[in-house]
Structure 1
Amino acid sequence: MTQVVDIPAAFRDGFARARLLDAGLAERYARHLSLGDPLADAAVAAAATARQRPWIRIGLDQGLAGLDDAPQALRDLFAHATDVPYWFTQSRTLPGCRAFHGNSRMFLAAFVAGSLVEAYSTLIAKAFITSGRLGDQAGRRFRQNNQLLSEIFLPGGLGEFGEGWKMALRIRLMHARLRLLTARSADWNHEDWGTPLSAAHIAFMNAALSGRLLERARVLGVELFPEERRAFMMIWRMAGHLAGVPAELLPRHEIEAQQLFRIGRMMEPPPEIEGIVLANGLINSAPMAAGVDDPDLRHRLVRQLYGISRGLIGGDLATALHFPETRGMDTLTAIRLRNRADLLLRRHIGFYDRRRRAGQFTQLLDLSFEGLDTGLPQAAAEDELPA
């Protein structure tokens, strides 16, 4: 059994509460707060000493077939990425793809105003900012996360060499790079905070973007069939596998994801300045990332997003993040009513549904790819990873 003394200090009070809810999961989660991603961490270190070839780019484009002469650590990472788990079947993800793209506007609202805000209000934000790589890039992170969504929810996107497969691996390598930078920083306190971007936090993020996102979308009026919800979770389970979530913390279904999110949330300390900055930056950058130039319209959209976020995450967390006071529940009620009317039209008028899906998909692509590069820090994208 994990002892409290083995847990980073910032999480000890929360761990005591979380054990009362689910002792086994709380202990598994706590053990992973001091662990990174051995495969990706070793691959990043190997790439730093083997600059004669762009091995990461070759691996993303060719898989193991192109890595015969690569360092073993890189081969190990891509062997893991190309080994399809027994539980993943591409054809069974299609209902989830259709459900996401049929409701992408509301999923994006729940994603930005709910799941991402909740995830970045944790010590995850401290790791990003301590690394020195975040800067003023909340808008870029908004687009990067949208790109991940758009690509993993395309049919075949998570198959080997699919764009979703590549994006999940790029993000995994980016996390490894940031983990290396943060761990070296004198500003990072390992005894208090554990490993930066720990295996537990990567699992928490996966739970926030899977089961928690489904719950948040439902609050906004998105109604999915059981088959669609199961497919949605399979997509995120595979994305989490590729992104380095340990098998012990990789949810098999929606209920497990929601429980892991609750345990992780309970163990976190109150939001600190880094979480406040990043959470507010996400809200304020969203209209600009969407190409809204008019200042008045941008201000109204930001206020609306703050209202949605307050309604989704609750008043206590919103206040802790210094969000402005808004009528969050009124905003959610109006959105739910509109979405239910929209659902009736979609189910009874086929042309309306097809046109709506096409429009939302185009909008998602615009949000995802405008001004976006590979999603890795430049050095990592070019395999120039100094030790």
Structure 2
Amino acid sequence: MTPSRFYYPSPGFSIYWKNGNGKKLAEKMDGIFPEKTEIERFIPRLFETDELADRVIQDVYKVHGFKLADQWITQLLDGEKVNDVPESLKQIIDQITTQPSWLNPELLEKGAALCRRSGSLGLMVLRNYCLMGGYESSAINKPLVFTGALKKGAAKRLTETTEFWVRIVGQNAITSPQNGIKECLKIRLMHAYARVSILEEGKWQEEDWGAPLNQWDMLATNLGFSIIFLDGLRKLGIKPTQGEVQGLFHFWKYVGFLLGTPESYFPETESEAIRAIYAWTITQAPADADTISLALALTLEPLDGPFPDKIWQKKLVYKTHLGYNRYFLGKTSCETMQLPATSWRFFPPVQCFFVNLGQPFVHLSAKSYQRSVKRNRKAQIKVVNDYLASHGRKTITE
């Protein structure tokens, strides 16, 4: 069965790849775009879900409640023996705490280090390229609408996504049972709970949208954090080494594994990642009213939220983000999502020029590289903690 959300070729993303900001990415595929018949092989993934996580929701959370479920998870991740725990919870804990044979700790750290050394610029890429760019897909946004994301506001999702990302890219964080692994399990079960709840409500149109939070959409989200993030860093003048690039894809393959997506779905190289994200984007239906509402909510978040606190700062941050949106996504995508034009679109290219000048000094020696990672991570943590504190959230410590 082919759901109606499979829309080939996507009107908006076709422009992005052939004439927009994705043109340079496409060149790395040697100009050979995957054919429709090749892409159609991925359609079954629109109906695949994380069945083990769904069983945990049904067996644990629906029966025993959140408090006891969270207590069991903490105990099991600490290696404690807990009696009378449902088998599905034991299975998922065993799955995520057993390191896969392909895991390479050195590559893992190189990928995480690139994320840390991206500093506050990396946060700009996440917000204004990865997150906002994903809103252009009307289909992937449907679970957000069904779970009330529009009513809860953009600040909640932005805060949760940023906090998750910053926590797991910390040094050696992702392999720690009580840090990165626990963070991933929390997100995985949150996705499962949303999926189970949406389906139980009985209003989800699977023949149109596929399964909620399906495996192809989960892969696309993961690729947003790897190949789209990488493209955004380069657009801002950061020059990753080949080792960092390889490490970035390895890191997000492991994160994807922890989040419940089959490891065989993940690309190993940059060219494979570009083909994978192309195959997903080029089949996305046109933007709809939900797309515009979500984009508008994220755009207005600096003006509506508590951070920053002064009016002139709010307006400055608002315009700056719009400038990054236009720079990363291009005119057509921004107009589709009804994002206002701003003269601040000229700021990122100037910033790119100066960031680019400093890149050779980063790679002068191992010491200079580590200094860059530590300095930018410190700046990254400060920005995130200022934001978290303004929203009454617990701040992050290394």
Q: Using structure 1 for the length normalisation, give the TM-score.
A: 0.85
Question: Residue 270 of structure 1 aligns with which residue?
Answer: 286
State the partner residue of 1:378: none
2:68 to 19, 33, 54: 54
Distance 1:171 1:355, change over 3 A: closer
Deviation, 1:20, is 6.8
Matched, 1:158 2:174: yes
* Residues 77-107 of structure 1, C-alpha deviations (whole Å, 9 max, x = no match): 2222112111212333222233222222111
- Aligned residues, how many? 369
The amino acid across from 1:77 in the alignment is I
Is this contact kept in 2: 1:59–1:66, CA < 8 A?
Answer: no
Q: Secondary structure at the match of 1:231?
A: helix
Q: Return closer, same or farther for 1:361/1:220 CA change in 2, 3 Å cut-off.
A: same
Structure 2 contact 120–379 (Cα < 8 Å) conserved: no
1:207: which partner in 2?
223
Q: How far did 1:134 drift? A: 5.2
Alignment of 1:297-308 (within 5 A): 297-308=313-324
Contact 2:256 2:263 in 1 (8 A): no
Deviations 1:183-219 (A, max 9, x none): 2345422211111111111111001111111111111
In structure 2, the CA distance between the partners of 1:233 and 1:42, relative to structure 1 (3 Å rule), is same
Deviates more, 1:155-164 or 1:246-255: 246-255
Moved more, 59-68 or 269-278: 59-68
Distance apart, 1:124 and its partner CA: 2.2
Provide the residue aligned with 2:384 in structure 1: 364
Aligned alpha-carbon RMSD (Å):
3.0
Residue 5 of structure 2, aligned match among 2, 5, 10: 10
Residue 133 and residue 340 in structure 1: after superposition, are their counterparts in 2 closer, same or farther (change >3 A)? closer
Check 1:73–1:142 CA distance in 2 against 1; reply closer, same or farther (3 A cut).
same
Q: How does 1:274-353 map to 2 (within 5 A)?
A: 274-286=290-302, 291-327=307-343, 330-343=346-359, 346=362, 353=372
Cα distance, 1:119 vs. partner? 1.8
Change (3 A) 1:222 1:57: farther
In the aligned structure 2, how far is the partner of 1:83 from the partner of 1:231? 20
Unaligned runs of 5+ in 2: 18-31
- 1:249-260 correspondence runs (5 A): 249-260=265-276
Q: What is the 5 A alignment of 1:173-212?
A: 173-212=189-228
Name which of 42, 48, 61 aligns with 1:29. 42
Q: How far apart in 2 are the matches of 1:53 and 1:140?
A: 22
How far has the Cα of 1:224 moved from its partner? 1.0
Whether contact under 8 Å (2:150, 2:293) holds in the other structure is: no
Counterparts in 2 of 1:265 and 1:24: CA distance versus 1, 3 Å: same
Distance 2:131 2:74 in 1: 27
Partner Cα separation in structure 2 for residue 51 and residue 184 of structure 1: 17
Give, in angstroms, the shift of residue 22 of structure 1: 4.4
Residues 24-64 of structure 1, C-alpha deviations (whole Å, 9 max, x = no match):
76234311111221111111111112349713442244237
One-letter code aligned to 2:127:
V
Q: Give, in angstroms, the shift of residue 360 of structure 1.
A: 3.0
The 3-state SS of whatever aligns with 2:85 is coil
Unmatched runs of 5 consecutive residues or more in structure 1: 1-5, 375-387
Q: Per the alignment, do residues 297 and 254 of structure 1 end up closer, same or farther by CA in structure 2, a change over 3 Å counting?
A: same
CA 1:334–1:15 in 2, change beyond 3 Å: closer, same or farther? closer
Which residue identity does 1:31 align to in structure 2? P
Per the TM alignment, residue 327 of structure 1 is displaced from its structure 2 partner at its CA by 4.6
Inter-partner Cα distance in structure 2 for 1:352 and 1:160: 24
- Aligned to 2:8, the other structure's residue is in SS state helix
Matching residue of 1:79:
94
